[in-house]
Amino acid sequence: MIVIDTSAMVEFLVGDDERAERVRGAAESEGSLATPHGIDLECASSLRGLVRGGKLAQGKADYALEVLQQLAITRYEHTWYLARIWELRANMWPYDAAYVALAEALAVPLLTVDCKFERTPGAHCEIVTVKAASPQPGK
């Protein structure tokens, strides 16, 4: 099992590059996905921004939301780890802290493409950050 955050889930759903493939591979290799319930709204918000910014076609966003609803993801109510989310308030927004707190509670890694988790003190879980590929010299 692995906890997947919104940044990684959006890559999983609509990414079309090598990083997105690595996110899909990392997620699938763990067997099962876990996430706070809020991921559905956060993904909808991210997809909305991509559509409004002209970076994603409306039809692809619609399809991504359908796929998200069908994925076998265990969604966890946040109330039982809210105290830990609050403890992390000095270093992260509650939305981000929810993913860290859930990964800690389940004793599993957190999958993300957001490098800020690596730089944020206080997390007591493994952070698996899938970074963008380094540009090739001369390209």
Annotated binding residues for Mg(2+), written as ranges, equal 5, 96
Binding-site entries: 5, 96
Between the alpha carbon of residue 37 and those of residues 4, 21, 67, 81, 117, the distances in Å are 12, 24, 16, 12, 20
Rounded to 5°, angle at Cα 110 from 135 and 133: 5
- At CB < 8 A and 24+ separation, what contacts does 54-58 make? 56/14
The answer to whether 15 and 60 are in contact (CB under 8 A) is no
